[in-house]
Amino acid sequence: MKPSYPHPLIAREGWFYLGLAGALALAVQEIAGGWWSLPFWVITLFVLQFFRDPPRSVPAGEGLILAPADGRVVAVLPCEDPYLHCPAVKVSVFMNVFNVHSNRSPLKATVREVVYHPGQFLNADLDKASEANERNALVLETPQGRKITCVQVAGLIARRILCYVRSGDPVEAGQRYGFIRFGSRVDLYLPPDVRLRVAIGDTVKATTTILAEWPKT
C-alpha cells in the first residue's frame, strides 16, 4: 500500500544545507578551478544522500508494528516504559550518517502525548543514550486502545530533533512525523506480549520492515 501523504525525494530539512553546499562548491570551482572544488562537491553529495527521503510502501496486514527509522537494531530487551510506567520490550534502531533520517509512525494511531527532554549528546549506539540524551517521545494509542511509545533520541553529532505532530493528532502507519539530523536512534517501547520479528544486529528500513506484531485475539 502506497503512503497517502506528500513525500519530496529530498527532505525539506536539508534544502538549506544542500543549497549552501552546492553554492560553495560552485563558488570554489569558479574561483579556483575544478580540482580545488572537488572536496566541496563530495560534501554536497554527502549532504544530498543524508537528506534523501524516499517514499515507502506500507506492508498489508493487521496488527503490524513497523520500523520507525532506517538503521541497525542495537537493543531488544525487557524494561519498564518510562512514559507509560508499565512493563515493556524496548527495540532500539540506531541510525548512522548514511541512513535515511526521516522518522515514520510505526502504526495507525492517535498521538496521546508528546514529551520532550533536554539532555546530553552521547553516542546514540550506547544504551544509556536512551536516558541521558536529548529526546522526544510520542505516546501512541491505536484504534483498539493499545498503547506504545516511540522516542526520537539525539546522538553524538545530532543536534536537532524535529517533530511535526502534537497531542491529539492522528497518524497513519508509515506517516512521516519527524527528522533527526546527523546520526541518532529511535526507541520503541512495546507491550511484552507482542511477537517480535527482529533481533539485535538486524538491519531495518522505516515502514517496510515489520518489527513486531500484536498477539492474535
3-state secondary structure of 207: coil
C-alpha span between 180 and 183 (Å, rounded) = 7
Residue that the C-alpha cell 570551482 belongs to: 29
The catalytic position among 37, 105, 130, 184 is 184
Outline where the chain has alpha helix (H).
15-32, 34-50, 129-132
Q: Residue 67 contacts by C-beta under 8 Å, 6 or more apart in sequence? A: 93, 104, 106, 198, 204, 205, 206, 207, 208, 209, 210, 211
Pairing of strands 203-204, 71-81: antiparallel
Is 102 a known active-site residue? Answer: no
Measure the CA–CA gap between 158 and 151, rounded to whole angstroms: 15
Cell of 69: 527509522
Centroid of chain to Cα 180: 7
Task: Pick left, alpha or beta for residue 17 (phi over 0 → left; psi -120 to 50 → alpha; otherwise beta).
Answer: alpha
Residue 106 CB neighbours (<10 A): 29
What is the Cα Rg of the chain in Å?
Answer: 18
Active site residues: 184
